[in-house]
Amino acid sequence: IEEFLYNSLTTKGFDVNPLISYENIILKHSLNDTKKDYTISKLDIYADKLTLTANEKETTYPFDHISNINLTYKNNIVIELTNGKQIILCGPNHENLYILIDLLKLNNS
């Protein structure tokens, strides 16, 4: 499945529209956050960047500002930025966040 998704992305033509948008992504401060400690955000995934919108504030993260992406337990994904900061997201409904890993590979190749 991983190889199929990556191969599909390498042949797709991209435009300015998001590839995927998720309305209820959990933005965590740490992997151990409880339900009281996180923020619900919107995640838009583009070919060259991702945007998070939380509390009416949109933040854009181009893939060239991302150094690594790791999947962890319970559909958590840890995005490591080149400035040393981390973004921790969780898909509450089994969203396909693996696409971020493939897009990072494509943008770094």
The per-residue pLDDT for 107 is 87
pLDDT score recorded for residue 82: 95
Report whether 90 contacts 25 (CB < 8 A).
Answer: yes
pLDDT at site 60: 96
From first to last of its 109 residues, what are the pLDDT tens digits of the chain?
A: 667 667 666 666 566 778 889 999 989 888 777 666 788 999 999 989 999 999 999 999 999 999 999 988 777 899 999 999 999 998 887 777 888 988 999 888 7
Q: 88 Cβ partners below 8 Å, 6+ apart?
A: 27, 28, 29, 30, 31, 33, 76, 77, 78, 79
In sign, the C-alpha dihedral spanning 18, 19, 25, 29 is: negative
Q: Could you tell me whether strands 57-62 and 49-54 are parallel, antiparallel, or unpaired per DSSP bridges?
A: antiparallel
DSSP-derived pairing of the beta strands 39-45 and 49-54: antiparallel
> What's the pLDDT score for residue 15?
62
Distance CA 88, CA 27 (A): 6
